[in-house]
Amino acid sequence: MSETNILSGKVVSDAVYTALENRITSLAHQYSAVPGLAAVIVGDDPASQVYVRNKTRRFLKMNLHSETIRLPEETSQKELLSTIRTLNSDPVFHGILVQLPLPKHIDTDVVIKAITPEKDVDGFHPENLGQLTAGNPRFTPCTPKGIMRILEHFHIDPSGKHAVVLGRSNIVGRPMSILLSQKQSYSNATTTICHSGTTDLRTFTKQADILVAALGVPEMIDDTYIKKGAVIIDVGINRVKDSSEKGYTLVGDVNYDAVQGIAHSITPVPGGVGPMTIAMLVENTVEATENVYT
């Protein structure tokens, strides 16, 4: 039985940060510009708090500017839109992210549309998603962009392969399927997208040379779903309650142990896709800053 390789997002993200250093220095020297991110968080969802903290920490570690705007759960949509308008016109911030999910009384689509597309470093604005679909992206959503980088870094060329994406959210699954099927190098895969309306998921997953699991269902994908030699990208970050000090363990959408020796390679959780999402957020914010000055 051959060993399953680990596709470390930590290793790839370190390479991204090293490559960004020159661009950041050059913005500072030429324009006295420091890329700045405003992160808006509404309410106190514990997972969202951790994600925002990890993102802003990385900005600070790279001597970039980052501010977190914390708003209470009961913030009205009007108040949130007003905060976004203020950030849109503040030149200190080149990127704005609104951490999802938002409280139920707020319409996420309206809020995302309110972010000026030039500062939408998450790439969720319909204008940016449209440009991505048309093959001319401004900002590509961070998680799928990071996954493409992982594939490239480990010389896994999707061209001519069958890629199966599980999940069709605008954040992960849908843009992932678009990126994998683009006519360009390290893409060009025959791509299938599956969702909760798919009848007999295994029919598709068992054909996958590259399987991207973005379901949000803890460890659902086991050895019965995969083909021998498949490359598995596990996007899921799920908190499973247990008796540990933290009270939970993070697991992916894939049963990591069950696919060992069958999959060619797999991204671990944590340490796989997660670090790349943050790295691509930094990269998109640097790009947004360059767009202002160059």
Q: Please state, in angstroms and rounded to a whole number, the distance separating the CA atoms of residues 212 and 147.
A: 9
- Of the residues 34, 81, 217, 258, which one makes contact with ligand NDP according to CB under 6 A: 217
Reference 271, options 30, 83, 11; nearest CA is 11
165 binds ligand NDP (CB under 6 A): no
Q: Please state, in angstroms and rounded to a whole number, the distance separating the CA atoms of residues 144 and 201.
A: 21
Min CB(51)–ligand NDP separation in Å: 8
The question of whether 122 is a catalytic residue gets the answer yes
8 binds ligand NDP (CB under 6 A): no
Taking the least distance from each CB to ligand NDP, the nearer of 66 and 177 is: 177
Choosing from 119, 120, 122, 145, which is the catalytic residue? 122
How far, in whole angstroms, is CA 19 from its chain's centroid? 19
197 binds ligand NDP (CB under 6 A): yes
Q: Please state, in angstroms and rounded to a whole number, the distance separating the CA atoms of residues 112 and 184.
A: 29
Q: Please state, in angstroms and rounded to a whole number, the distance separating the CA atoms of residues 51 and 259.
A: 27
| Residue length of the chain | 294
Binding segment (CB under 6 A) for ligand NDP, from list 85-93, 165-173, 180-188, 242-250: 165-173
The question of whether 207 is a catalytic residue gets the answer no
235 binds ligand NDP (CB under 6 A): yes
Residues 6 or more apart whose Cβ sits within 8 Å of residue 66:
36, 37, 38, 39, 55, 56, 59, 60
Taking the least distance from each CB to ligand NDP, the nearer of 33 and 235 is: 235
Residues 6 or more apart whose Cβ sits within 8 Å of residue 204:
164, 192, 194, 198
Residue 163 tokens, joined: 């890629």
Q: Strand pairing partners for 192? A: 164
Tell me which amino acid residue 72 is.
Answer: P
Reference 122, options 105, 107, 135, 137; nearest CA is 137
Taking the least distance from each CB to ligand NDP, the nearer of 132 and 166 is: 166
Choosing from 10, 49, 90, 99, which is the catalytic residue? 99
239 binds ligand NDP (CB under 6 A): no
DSSP single-letter state for residue 103: P
- Of the residues 38, 179, 210, 237, which one makes contact with ligand NDP according to CB under 6 A: 237
Cβ contact 234:267 at 8 Å = yes
81 binds ligand NDP (CB under 6 A): no
54 binds ligand NDP (CB under 6 A): no
The question of whether 227 is a catalytic residue gets the answer no
Binding segment (CB under 6 A) for ligand NDP, from list 64-72, 192-200, 224-232, 240-248: 192-200
Min CB(249)–ligand NDP separation in Å: 14
Binding segment (CB under 6 A) for ligand NDP, from list 36-44, 155-163, 189-197, 242-250: 189-197
Cβ contact 188:158 at 8 Å = yes
**Site residues (vs ligand NDP, CB under 6 A):** 143, 166-169, 171-173, 194-198, 201, 214-217, 235-238, 273-274, 277
Residues with catalytic function: 55, 99, 122
